């Protein structure tokens, strides 16, 4: 395929991309306005006083360390759930798995069952086993992220040409070289997508972080939840929410770019 | 923002579920089966302080109140550090989250729990007591309790549940109505007169729709009025009393509805919406459970300069909120040290400053050292809000938490839409 898409094809893509961007951006508009509003009284269509009070309050309420903890939690969840999803996805797509339906159902179960219902039981279990709160938190979130990573990796392996690896082997590459130089590069876009989804699970969780984590890790969603439960906090809630929304958006763009490069 | 806003809600399904399961398995029977003891060990205060040194206390509290968060982070925590105690604030959306964590730890038999201190009152305190989740009989050990009046009814009973030394007082709140003195020249002086005033001035009054916290408090205040005073309403919910009193209340409010703002077709959704209406001169009266915010809003120009608290005969509702220690708190001594610190005249004074938090002290003025009493008197006062002693002179006790749900349900079915 040529590196530049034909003009006709691009013309068809542009409106769709614009629509998609609007879909993502529209809910952000009031957030952006509120985050820049010092005062916004009811009937006015736009903020009556502009300013950065919301952001200053967000800093006062500990948004910066919370951001750092959210990033750490997201990364830890992605680090566990992505390889697990890749291995399960590969097995399901390329190998004969006994009792396949049962395995698939088990892998998808965490999505089907509402986390809120499971969390209390899991907390008790983790406490009885003496699992440290932080470890329990990452493990529970990684398990709820696995369905997404399995789904992505299974699709990727279904379209993966194992012949490439065999060819490399015939040409004399060792298993390690095949993995690092053929297998992983081919699957990098899918791995990035899977890791992104797993990161989001850790990044955006509230219930598990609070209940299983035992309050040791105050993350951005906890700040957003606590602050937004009161009236009159609109500016600071907007600022904290933006801080919670923008990093995943940036990551999404990055993974999308990576996926496009991989597709060529 | 009144602290109690989040404490009054019916406990979540989860709390109920945990209560049931723990009752069945008997796992959370502290004291009975070798679980954590429900009473604090008897020891000298010096021993408590020595043990507290080096501990980290996790204070779980409703995190929606920015001034409250800042007070804990910037004033209380540094003072705790002076005792060698690290104070960490865990912000929760609802105090029930903290109770849920404690209950699941108790169910699992964990004795080094992650919740050391909880800002609580009302329903969550009552649920915790039912489950034996709170450490009891420890408040007498706190040296600062010497400044508290042991007979103060607001501090001995928490929304109808006896406190019994299972939580240390933290601050008081007072429900008030406020009016614009520039617009209202003949302010009513009782709830009954208020109703008459509303009918004489149609469209100039409304209240937030329950279950908004403030609207719900207005409902209870109105119930006292139609019943003929707090003494006529049993504090503990009682179906017979409800069946007798509630119809009268709902009839009165339904009859009032056509004289409300927009003829009672709609009500402001929450206190913020009522404040908008009041600030925008759509109505002449507003109300709040946190009068200190009123003083701030008048000072900042958000509310009219003529705003004055409406003095009501027979007083208005008052309540207190508390700090409780779970039976399985890992840093129990540290939690006690912080609860005592929070009660010291210095902390209560700092917290009472409207620029810091503006929460009313729980200390008895006649028990305070002279200079501290003077400092309280010298706190920035507002023309809009009378001093707390005057506000709370005949504070009405809060009704038991069991009343809240039935009153709100009845209002929805019998009053809403009656306009």
Rounded to two decimals, the pTM is: 0.83
Q: Which residues contact B62 (CB under 8 A, 6 or more apart)?
A: A226, A229, B3, B5, B6, B7, B68, B91, B92, B93, B94, B95, B119
Picking from B108, B275, B290, B302 by the largest number of A CB atoms within 10 A of its own CB, the best residue to mutate is B108
pLDDT of residue B36: 66
Widest CA span in chain A: 73
Rounded distance, CA B32 to CA B26, Å? 9
* pLDDT at residue B270 in the model: 85
Chain A residues whose beta carbon lies within 8 Å of the beta carbon of residue B90: 215, 218
How far, CA to CA in Å, does B73 sit from each of B67, B163, B171, B341?
A: 10, 27, 17, 14
Distance from CA of A164 to the nearest CA of B (A): 52
| Cα–Cα distance measured from residue B216 to residue B206, given in angstroms and rounded to the nearest whole number | 13
Q: How many CB pairs under 8 A join A and B?
A: 95
Whether residues B14 and A225 touch (CB distance < 8 A) is answered with: no
A232 contacts on B by Cβ (under 8 Å):
1, 272
Asked whether the beta carbons of residue A124 and residue B91 sit closer than 8 angstroms, the reply is no
Identify the closest residue of chain A to B73 by CA–CA distance. A61
Nearest CA in chain B to A226: B93
User: What gap in Å lies between CA A119 and CA B135, rounded to an integer?
Assistant: 26
Tens-binned pLDDT, residue by residue, of chain B (419 aa): 344 444 433 334 344 444 444 444 433 334 444 456 788 888 899 999 999 999 999 999 999 888 899 999 999 999 999 999 999 999 998 899 899 899 989 988 888 999 999 999 988 999 999 999 999 999 999 999 999 999 998 899 998 899 999 999 999 999 999 999 999 999 999 999 999 999 999 999 999 999 888 999 999 999 999 999 988 999 889 999 999 999 999 999 999 999 999 999 999 988 888 988 998 899 999 999 888 878 878 887 888 999 999 988 888 999 999 999 999 999 999 999 999 999 999 999 999 988 898 899 999 988 998 898 889 888 877 888 888 878 887 788 888 888 989 999 999 999 997 66
Contact between B20 and B136 (Cβ < 8 Å): no
CB neighbour list of residue B367: distance below 8 Å, 6 or more residues apart: B146, B147, B148, B149
Q: Which of B104, B109, B276 sits opposite A41 (nearest CB)?
A: B276
Residue B9 · residue B123 · CB < 8 Å: yes
Å from B92 to nearest chain A CA? Answer: 5
Residues 6+ apart with CB under 8 A from B277: B206, B261, B268, B283, B286
Q: For residues A150 and A198, what is the distance between their CA atoms, to the nearest angstrom?
A: 10
CB A48 within 8 A of CB A34: no
Omega of the bond leading into B401 within 30 degrees of 0 (cis): no
Which member of B17, B108, B114 has the closest CB to residue A216?
B114
Residue B172 backbone phi and psi in degrees, to 5: -110, 160
**pLDDT at site A41:** 65
Chain A interface includes B279 (CB < 8 A)? yes
Please list, in sequence order, all residues whose beta carbon lies within 8 angstroms of the beta carbon of residue A197, skipping any fewer than 6 positions away.
A145, A148, A149, A152
CB-based contacts of B148, cutoff 8 Å, min separation 6 = B155, B169, B343, B362, B363, B364, B367
Q: Which residues of A touch B105 (CB under 8 A)?
A: 123, 127
Overall residue count recorded for chain B in this entry: 419
Q: Dihedral through CA B103, CA B105, CA B108, CA B110, nearest 10? A: -140
Q: What's the rounded Cα separation, in Å, for the pair A260 and A19?
A: 19
Q: What is the pLDDT of residue B213?
A: 86
The radius of gyration computed from the CA coordinates of chain B, to the nearest angstrom, equals 22
Distances (CA, A) of B13 to A112, A196, B19, B21, B145: 20, 33, 10, 12, 36
Alpha helices by DSSP H, listed for chain A, are 7-25, 28-35, 53-60, 63-94, 100-112, 115-129, 133-158, 162-170, 175-178, 184-204, 207-211, 220-228, 234-263
Is B66 close to A233, i.e. CB distance below 8 A? yes
Q: Does B73 touch chain A (CB under 8 A)?
A: yes
The whole-angstrom distance between residue B45's C-alpha and the CA centroid of its chain comes to 29
What confidence tens digit (pLDDT) does each residue in A162-182 have? 888 888 889 988 889 988 888
* Contact with chain A for residue B63, Cβ under 8 A: yes
Of A127, A128, A211, the CB nearest to B100: A211
Whole-angstrom CA distances from B388 to B154, B309, B358 are 14, 12, 11
Which one-letter DSSP state was computed for residue B305? T
- Residue B380: predicted pLDDT: 77
Q: What is the pLDDT of residues A213-264, one digit of tens each?
A: 888 889 999 999 888 877 678 888 889 998 888 888 888 888 888 777 665 5
Q: Which residues of A touch B270 (CB under 8 A)?
A: 231
Sequential pLDDT tens for chain A (264 residues): 445 555 555 567 788 888 888 887 888 888 888 888 877 765 677 887 888 888 888 998 889 999 999 999 999 999 999 999 999 999 998 888 888 888 888 888 887 877 677 777 788 888 888 888 889 999 999 998 999 999 999 999 998 888 888 888 899 888 899 888 888 999 998 999 999 999 999 999 988 898 888 888 899 999 998 888 776 788 888 899 988 888 888 888 888 887 776 655
Which of these, B200, B250, B197, B201, lies nearest to B222 by C-alpha position? Answer: B250
């Amino acid at each position: 395929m040529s590196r530049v898409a034909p003009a006709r094809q691009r013309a068809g893509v542009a409106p769709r991309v614009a629509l998609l961007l609007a879909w993502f951006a529209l809910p952000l508009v009031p957030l952006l306005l509120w985050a820049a509003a010092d005062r916004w009284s009811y009937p006015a269509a736009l903020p009556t006083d502009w300013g950065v009070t919301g952001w200053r309050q967000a800093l006062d309420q500990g948004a910066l360390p919370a951001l750092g903890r959210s990033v750490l939690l997201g990364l830890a969840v992605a680090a566990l759930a992505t390889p697990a999803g890749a291995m399960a996805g590969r097995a399901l797509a390329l190998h004969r798995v006994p009792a396949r339906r049962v395995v698939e159902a088990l892998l998808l179960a965490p999505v089907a069952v509402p986390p809120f219902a499971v969390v209390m039981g899991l907390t008790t279990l983790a406490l009885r086993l003496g699992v440290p709160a932080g470890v329990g938190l990452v493990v529970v979130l990684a398990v709820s992220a696995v369905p997404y990573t399995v789904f992505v990796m299974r699709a990727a392996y279904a379209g993966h040409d194992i012949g490439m690896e065999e060819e490399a082997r015939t040409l004399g590459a060792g298993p390690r070289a095949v993995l690092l130089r053929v297998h992983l590069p081919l699957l990098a876009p899918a791995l990035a997508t899977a890791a992104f989804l797993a990161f989001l699970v850790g990044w955006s969780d509230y219930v598990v972080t609070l209940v299983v984590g035992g309050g040791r890790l105050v993350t951005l969603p906890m700040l957003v939840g606590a602050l937004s439960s009161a009236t009159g906090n609109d500016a600071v809630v907007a600022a904290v929410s933006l801080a919670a929304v923008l990093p995943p958006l940036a990551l999404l763009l990055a993974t999308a770019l990576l996926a496009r490069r991989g597709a060529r | 923002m009144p602290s109690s806003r989040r404490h009054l809600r019916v406990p979540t399904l989860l709390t109920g579920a945990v209560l049931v399961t723990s009752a069945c398995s008997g796992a959370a029977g502290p004291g009975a089966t070798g679980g954590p003891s429900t009473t604090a060990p008897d020891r000298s205060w010096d021993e408590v302080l020595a043990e507290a040194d080096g501990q980290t206390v996790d204070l779980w509290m409703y995190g929606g109140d920015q001034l409250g968060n800042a007070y804990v982070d910037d004033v209380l925590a540094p003072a705790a550090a002076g005792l060698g105690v690290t104070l960490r604030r865990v912000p929760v959306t609802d105090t029930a989250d903290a109770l849920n964590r404690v209950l699941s730890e108790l169910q699992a038999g964990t004795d080094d729990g992650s919740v050391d201190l909880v800002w609580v009152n009302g329903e969550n305190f009552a649920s915790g007591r039912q489950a034996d989740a709170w450490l009891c009989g420890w408040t007498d050990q706190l040296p600062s309790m010497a400044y508290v009046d042991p007979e103060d009814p607001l501090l001995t009973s928490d929304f109808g549940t006896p406190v019994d030394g299972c939580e240390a007082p933290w601050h008081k709140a007072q429900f008030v109505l406020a009016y614009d003195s520039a617009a209202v020249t003949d302010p009513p002086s009782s709830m009954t007169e208020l109703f008459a005033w509303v009918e004489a001035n149609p469209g100039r009054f409304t209240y937030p729709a329950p279950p908004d916290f403030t609207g719900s408090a207005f409902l209870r205040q109105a119930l006292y009025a139609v019943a003929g005073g707090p003494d006529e309403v049993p504090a503990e919910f009682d179906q017979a009393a409800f069946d007798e009193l509630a119809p009268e209340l709902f009839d009165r409010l339904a009859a009032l509805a056509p004289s409300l703002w927009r003829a009672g077709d709609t009500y402001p959704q929450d206190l913020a919406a009522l404040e908008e209406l009041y600030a925008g001169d759509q109505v002449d009266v507003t109300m709040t459970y946190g009068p200190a915010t009123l003083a701030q809003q008048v000072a900042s120009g958000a509310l009219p300069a003529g705003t004055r608290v409406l003095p009501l005969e027979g007083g208005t509702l008052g309540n207190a909120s508390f700090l409780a220690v779970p039976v399985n708190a890992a840093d129990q001594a540290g939690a006690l040290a912080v609860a005592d610190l929070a009660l010291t005249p210095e902390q209560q004074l700092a917290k009472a400053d409207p620029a810091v938090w503006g929460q009313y002290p729980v200390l008895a003025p006649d028990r305070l050292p002279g200079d501290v009493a003077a400092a309280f008197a010298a706190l920035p006062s507002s023309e809009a809000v009378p001093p707390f002693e005057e506000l709370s002179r005949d504070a009405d006790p809060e009704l038991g938490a069991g009343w809240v749900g039935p009153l709100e349900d009845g209002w929805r079915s019998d009053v809403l839409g009656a306009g």
